[in-house]
Amino acid sequence: MPQKQTWLLTAGGQIQCRRCQGTSRRTGLQCGAPAEQHSEKCRFHGSRATGPITLEGLERCAQAKWKGLGDTRAQRALDRQAMQLVKVCGEVLKAIQT
Ligand SMILES: [Zn+2]
């Protein structure tokens, strides 16, 4: 992946401003728009996003958070229970064999 450019010259090279650090999902190239003043992204790439603010929004985000493909908190909880079951079964088998 090529290094992203931090600065951008606009207005015919008269104004230097920060360049948006977003990437086009269509072309894969760095966004060519200037970044908003308080952000490193342009208005199209989420400079005004604040993330969840209300408690309901935070909870909804936490529930929906993905760590990877098919990996949710609910799925990890199920996996944890399944591993505990496997562990108990292994201990029972070991006790029977001895
Ligand atoms: Zn952008």
* Model confidence band, residue 59 (pLDDT cutoffs 50, 70, 90): confident
* Model confidence band, residue 51 (pLDDT cutoffs 50, 70, 90): confident
Q: Give the predicted TM-score (pTM) of the model.
A: 0.54
Distance (Å) from CA 62 to ligand 1 centroid: 26
**Over residues 59-84, mean pLDDT:** 81
**Cα(79)–Cα(66) distance, rounded to whole angstroms?**
15
Distance (Å) from CA 39 to ligand 1 centroid: 11
Distance (Å) from CA 76 to ligand 1 centroid: 34
Position 60 pLDDT exceeds 80: yes
